[in-house]
Amino acid sequence: MKGLVPGNKMKGVDICGIRYNCYIIRADLGYYLKTTDLKDASFLTLCDLHHSCVGEHYVGHINDSIYIIKENSYRRVTNLTTDSGRERKPIHPNYHNGDYYFSAMGKFYIVFKDKNIYKKTSKLTSPDCQEYPLNVDFSDGLYYWGRSFHFYMMRMTEEWGVEFIKASDFSSGNREWFASVHKDILDFLPGGLSVTKGPVVGTWEKVTSQNNDTCTPMHFERSVKKKVGYNKETVTKITHNWNVKLSATVKLNKLAALIANAQVSFETEYGGSFMKVEKKNWNEETEISEDISQDLPPYTHLHIWQYKLSLGEDTILFCPDLKYTYDENPPTEIPRSY
């Protein structure tokens, strides 16, 4: 089953909570989603992420601040779009190199997955902390965050897809409540498109062919029509339920293309094709002509192919380069970049 990229595998992508709000941050894209309920898409708001608020981990605190952790220090702000209320301090070595950081009940929690432990402290600058075992029921989290008096964890399940769990003690394994994550939120998370739409699949599509069934060489010339760019109609469905705050300068179709481009680049484990596509090549789909000139030896069958990428059942991107084969089998070479 294809799935989400874990938060500890992709720095700068995180979920944090302050009171009734959740923030889903994509520092790699420069934006975040704000919502009150991960199981409902009714109140999704897209906001700009200030360039000074790009970090590795994000922690929402009951004091209405967000702690942005980068390397061994944090930046505390009250607004991720304006960078207001900012303050910087070093983090004590006890909490360096954590996999996940979150806060609940006024305390900070740091999860170390390899050690199956988490630490609790009142201040990230203080050496004073308590260490607890991470219960096996909470060891498979992709994201961890807190909201006021509870912990939350997001995970993949084979039977029910992506769900998030509410708890008050990660040592006991007692789950108070769980629910499925709404698809519009999954689409914003790295790897989420593979869950909601299917993995990225690359295929060679035959554009045209030419046979030389004679005993003499033949020169073949033709103007071939091919598609290039991305399928705007398919890609922009990703963002159709998002409200754009006035501060957000991005055009939704451009952001959708960025999200799709990131999905394409992921490893196959997360539903990608491990293909690097330059952002400048994510232009809207159009049809262009290419002149073909080829010498065909006697009794030769020429087949001309174009590589395309699909997300689930929908084509999203056409690669511009054409490839030739002299049998009906498509090329074996798989493009890794363009």
The tens digit of pLDDT for each residue in 81-106 reads 999 988 999 999 999 999 999 999 99
All domains of the chain, ordered by start, with CATH?
A: 7-196 (2.110.10.10), 200-325 (2.60.120)
The arrangement of strands across the sheet holding 57-60 comes to 57-60, 66-70, 73-77, 87-90
List, for residues 2-21, the tens digit of each pLDDT value: 689 999 999 999 999 998 89
| Residue 176 and residue 169 in contact, taking contact as beta carbons nearer than 8 Å | no
Beta bridge partners of 35: 22
- pLDDT above 70 (res 247): no
| Residue 136 and residue 159 in contact, taking contact as beta carbons nearer than 8 Å | no
Closest CA to 187 of 250, 80, 263: 263
The two tokens of residue 270 are: 């997360």
Max CA-CA distance within the chain? 87
Residue 246, pLDDT score? 54
Strand, coil or helix: 188: coil
Calculate the average pLDDT of the chain.
90
The two tokens of residue 324 are: 């030739």
Chain centre distance of CA 48: 17
